[in-house]
């Protein structure tokens, strides 16, 4: 793809692991999920490169309001907002059919934007299974693939983020989880095998990346502060995507949503959260979403 160099300046944002609590992490994460959906639904833009470094945190300055500069120091007690940034691999989708809850791209559109969706993009530890395998032609990058990236980010965070000390253990030499290290340094095929095994384990199989007897389940190494999020968010999302990939075995299934299994609505339902954009006081429904 053609890429142009641009330089711009923004506020200084915090990293995702620099939140004050897991509860705040969840609110920031939801902001990013909703921003991503609204960019897709209202702006016809698909991000295509979601990673832990693209989900960030902004706190309004003391004495300021959302969108205003305020004072020079951020308040640790201010409501934290999720920031979805790094859109350099994003693609504009020219046409849609369908409705907002299940947006479907017009596949016979010959525009360059549609051709770009066939290029394999993403950060490997967080890429969807479909985009990791070399079997068959390169698949189109779909909205559900980005939703799946949010799941892998959650698992990565739950294992590596030391929230009380605001540290990302994966960034410290020697501290990256032994199994997730394969996600980061393995081949695409090895990463695919690890992730596929994890989805299968939740349904009674094995989640191990290899036959090594000393490997334990990556979900057993979720940090103490993330245990509730593991049971309430991670496990339901694993079930959701496992069902979706099983559905794809049938040739007549809609690949955009795996037969309606993976949409923004079903993703939010798995989290047991009502989309806040639907009740936003903002006239255009953007609410607290911030895109950089």
What pLDDT is stored for residue 135 in this prediction?
A: 76
Q: If pLDDT is split at 50, 70 and 90, which confidence band does 121 have?
A: confident
Lowest mean pLDDT among 13-27, 143-157, 188-202: 188-202
Q: Name the residue range of residue 244's domain.
A: 14-58+78-205+216-271
pLDDT at 247 exceeding the cut of 50: yes
What pLDDT is stored for residue 270 in this prediction?
A: 98
Higher pLDDT, 292 or 90: 90
Is position 2 within any domain? no
Find the CATH number of the domain harbouring 164.
1.10.510.10
Is position 71 within any domain? no
For 8, 159, 189, the CA distances from 228, given in Å and listed in that order, are 39, 13, 31
Is position 124 within any domain? yes
pLDDT at 132 exceeding the cut of 80: yes
Higher pLDDT, 287 or 108: 287
What pLDDT is stored for residue 289 in this prediction?
A: 57
Q: Which residue has the tokens 């201010």?
A: 78
Nearest to 236 by CA among 151, 123, 122, 163: 151
Is position 37 within any domain? yes
**CA geometry: angle 176, 76, 278, nearest 5 deg:** 85
Is position 234 within any domain? yes
What pLDDT is stored for residue 288 in this prediction?
A: 56
Is position 97 within any domain? yes
pLDDT at 167 exceeding the cut of 90: yes
For 97, 129, 137, 147, 197, the CA distances from 106, given in Å and listed in that order, are 6, 23, 19, 20, 33
What pLDDT is stored for residue 19 in this prediction?
A: 97
Is position 19 within any domain? yes
What pLDDT is stored for residue 134 in this prediction?
A: 79
What pLDDT is stored for residue 79 in this prediction?
A: 86
**What confidence tens digit (pLDDT) does each residue in 58-72 have?**
998 765 555 444 444
Average pLDDT, rounded, for the chain: 81
What pLDDT is stored for residue 240 in this prediction?
A: 96
pLDDT at 203 exceeding the cut of 80: no
What pTM was estimated for this model as a whole? 0.82
What pLDDT is stored for residue 159 in this prediction?
A: 98
Q: In 109-148, which positions are buried (b, 16+ CB within 10 angstroms) versus exposed (e)?
A: eeeebbebbeeebbbbbbbbbbbbbeeeeebbbbbbbbbb
What pLDDT is stored for residue 70 in this prediction?
A: 43
Is position 281 within any domain? no
Q: What does the pLDDT average to over 82-102? A: 69
Q: How many domains does the chain have?
A: 1
What pLDDT is stored for residue 249 in this prediction?
A: 82
Higher pLDDT, 252 or 215: 252
């Amino acid at each position: 793809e053609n890429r142009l160099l641009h330089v711009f300046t923004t506020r200084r944002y915090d990293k995702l692991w620099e939140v004050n609590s897991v509860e705040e992490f969840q609110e920031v994460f939801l902001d990013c999920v909703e921003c991503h959906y609204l960019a897709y639904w209202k702006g016809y833009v698909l991000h295509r490169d979601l990673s832990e470094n693209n989900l960030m945190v902004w706190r309004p300055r003391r004495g300021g309001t959302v969108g205003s500069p305020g004072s020079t120091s951020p308040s640790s007690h201010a409501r934290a907002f999720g920031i979805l940034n790094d859109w350099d691999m994003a693609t504009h989708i020219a046409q849609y059919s369908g409705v907002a809850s299940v947006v479907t791209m017009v596949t016979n559109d010959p525009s360059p934007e549609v051709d770009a969706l066939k290029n394999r993009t993403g950060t490997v530890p967080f890429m969807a299974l479909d985009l990791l395998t070399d079997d068959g032609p390169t698949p189109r990058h779909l909205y559900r693939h980005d939703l799946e990236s949010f799941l892998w980010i959650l698992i990565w965070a739950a294992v590596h983020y030391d929230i009380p000390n605001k540290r990302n253990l994966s960034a410290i030499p020697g501290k990256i989880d032994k199994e997730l290290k394969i996600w980061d340094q393995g081949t695409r095929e090895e990463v695919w095998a690890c992730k596929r095994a994890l989805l299968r384990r939740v349904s009674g199989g094995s989640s191990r990346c290899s036959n090594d007897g000393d490997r334990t389940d990556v979900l057993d190494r979720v940090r103490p502060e993330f245990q509730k999020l593991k049971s309430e968010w991670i496990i339901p999302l694993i079930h959701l995507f496992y069902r979706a990939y099983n559905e794809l075995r049938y040739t007549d299934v809609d690949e955009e949503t795996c037969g309606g299994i993976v949409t923004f609505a079903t993703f939010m339902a798995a989290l047991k959260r009502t989309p806040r954009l639907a009740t936003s006081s903002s006239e255009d429904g953007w609410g607290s979403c911030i895109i950089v």
